[in-house]
Structure 1
Amino acid sequence: MTEGMNVASQRLTVLQGQYKVSAGPRVELSTVLGSCVATCLYDPEVELGGMNHFLLPEPPASHNRGEVDVHYGVYLMEMLINEMLNYGARKDRLRAHLYGGANIRAGMQQIGTANADFARNFLLRERIDLVREDLGGTNARRVDFRPSSGMVRCRTVASSDAPEPKPQPVFRPVPRGEVDLF
């Protein structure tokens, strides 16, 4: 647990398939995770941070490549990073925390493990420093993140508090016209 977490005046919940970015000094991003993974990114120089919450690592090969589906970490990781870059963060300064990836239901597919492995490998490929993780196990977690300071509090909660994995609508980009490449 990180000290100084008691000064939030605005708590924003990050649900499955969402990401949020803020530099507000009194903003706290919160989520509850079971098998899902949340990535908390922080750029200490510009005091900007963000969190995502993804349900699955990557879409199957049969997935239409022209669609962005916010169930998947591969999209939410890129969306979070790009949004932070839009607000002045630099990729070489980003620091990451990873949470969740539990395998709550015995005898079920190990989705939590797949999510955790994907998140670690993604950060490694993108050369983003992983400074803390609390992944795996069988317990749900509640994560509270202060994006402007990079402070995080993670605690276990009853597995019944974790949201049921439920697909969100697929986001289809709006066609912006045709482009001829030479």
Structure 2
Amino acid sequence: MTDAPVARRIHIIQGEWKIANDPNAVLTTILGSCVAACLRDPVAGIGGMNHFLLPGNSSMPMTGGDATRYGVHLMELLINGLLKQGARRDRLEAKIFGGAKTISTFSNVGEQNAAFATQFLRDEGIPIVGSSTGGDHGRKLEFWPVSGRARQYPLTGAETQKTVAMEQQRPAPVSKPVESSIEFF
């Protein structure tokens, strides 16, 4: 009898995106009003996740670290990153999570984030095979990019408030890309 391999946890924070093709990798994040899009190519055995704070659109000026807050930027980076690693656009499938209304007195940016992700994927022709958005509590999310399995845990009221506080902070500035990299807008 052999021991099962230990999952390699890769945590994603607001403004990040990651890709993995390791069957033991699990991408994790904690969401309040933010949304995470989980995309994968089941044939190529590769997938990834992003975590964005605001929907954004192509008419908004985005520079430096500010761009990483917006879904429009992170969705493009995730899709192009997957394609660069061997995924095919016509085989991509998606799951979306998050978008809670964590503070009742604020506008419902979570709902706007979820609607943006849904519309963006529809416009790109990427089917959404699963989603869990909305509600009034945050969630902890785990996504296995090779199998496409996803699991979420509801956060308690105190954990949600901590997540809201983290979402309201500005992300650290992103370092300049290496000369050989390509930046998509």
Q: If the TM-score is normalised by the length of the shorter chain, which range does it land in?
A: 0.7 to 0.9
Point out the structure with the larger strand share.
Answer: 1
Residue in 1 aligned with 2:46?
A: 48
Q: Which structure 2 residue ranges, 5 or more long, are not aligned?
A: 180-185
Pick the aligned partner of 1:64 from 61, 65, 77.
Answer: 61
The Cα of 1:107 is off from its aligned counterpart by: 1.3
Query: Which aligned pairs between 1:148-159 and structure 2 lie closer than 5 A?
Result: 148-159=146-157
Given that 1:102 and 1:140 are in contact with CA atoms closer than 8 Å, whether structure 2 keeps it comes out as yes
Deviations 1:87-141 (A, max 9, x none): 0001110000000000011111111011011000000000000000100110111
Q: Which has the higher helix share?
A: 2
Give the structure-1-normalised TM-score.
0.85
Deviation at 1:60, TM superposition (A): 9.0
Assess if the C-alpha contact under 8 Å between 1:52 and 1:80 holds in 2: yes
Q: Which amino acid aligns with 2:17?
A: Y
Question: Which one of 109, 112, 128 corresponds to residue 111 of structure 1?
Answer: 109
Task: Check 1:19–1:27 CA distance in 2 against 1; reply closer, same or farther (3 A cut).
Answer: same
TM-score by length of 2: 0.84
1:168 aligned partner, one-letter code: P
- Of 24, 34, 37, 1:36 maps to 34
Number of aligned positions between the proteins = 170
Aligned to 1:167: 170
2:128 aligned partner: 130
Task: Give the aligned CA root-mean-square deviation in angstroms.
Answer: 2.3
Contact 1:96 1:130 in 2 (8 A): yes
Identity level (%): 38
Deviation at 1:7, TM superposition (A): 5.5
Q: Which one of the candidate residues 87, 93, 96 is aligned to 2:94?
A: 96
Where structure 1 has 5 or more consecutive residues not aligned to the other structure, the ranges are 1-5, 177-182
Residues 47-71 of structure 1 deviation map (CA, whole Å, 9 limit, x = unaligned): 100000000000695x435656100
Q: Counterpart in 2 of 1:3? A: none
